[in-house]
Amino acid sequence: MVHVLFVCLGNICRSPMAEAVFKHLVAKEKLEASIRVDSAATSGWHIGAPPHPGTIAKLKEYDISTEGISGRQLQKEDFEEFDYIVGMDENNIKDIRQMLGQPDHPKIIRFLDWTEHKKDVPDPYFTGDFQETYDLVLEGCDALLGKVKLDYKEQL
């Protein structure tokens, strides 16, 4: 089984949106038995909280469920458990590397690295633009799923 973890600052906007969208895409490809998806925060501010109301509302527009998603903080054990640890922006990547004690490991990746967008996913908690975030998350999830399918084609 392939394990994918999305990480952002608070785990209520971007990373749970990516978790929900990626799960949706994985289900469409009928790969639920082969790919596990989760999300986490670099901070401890929203542990146990549901996704932000703006994230929930935006995902509902696209019939994507947030059921079972709640905030949690990144743990050192996540490094061993997950094959891809995906930070939503460069600050998240720096924090992930520091928190996990892995200054430059290839399983720690920036979310949009497989897209034409060589930038960070803006945090809608601050921008209020959940549509922009959704559009980038969808594009990034499509690209990441393609990479996972290529990297693990023998196992999927």
Q: Which residue has the higher pLDDT, 116 or 7?
A: 7
- Catalytically annotated residue among 8, 13, 89, 110: 8
CA distance 22 to 24: 5
- Catalytically annotated residue among 14, 38, 95, 141: 14
Confidence band for 45, pLDDT divided at 50, 70 and 90:
very high
Burial of 109 (0-12, 13-18, 19+ CB in 10 A): middle
Catalytic residue check, 8? yes
- Catalytically annotated residue among 13, 120, 123, 141: 123
pLDDT digits (tens, 9 = 90+) for 54-96: 999 999 999 999 999 999 999 999 999 999 999 999 999 999 9
Domain spanning 2-151 has what CATH number?
3.40.50.2300
Q: What is the DSSP letter of 70?
A: -
Question: What is the arithmetic mean of pLDDT over 23-36?
Answer: 97
**Cα of 139 vs its chain's centroid, Å:** 12
Catalytic residue check, 13? no
Question: What is the arithmetic mean of pLDDT over 9-35?
Answer: 97
Domain boundaries, the chain: 2-151
Answer whether 0.85 is exceeded by the pTM. Answer: yes
Catalytic residue check, 14? yes
pLDDT greater than 90 at residue 52 = yes
Q: What is the pLDDT of residue 117?
A: 78
E strands of the chain, at which residues? 2-8, 35-41, 84-87, 108-110
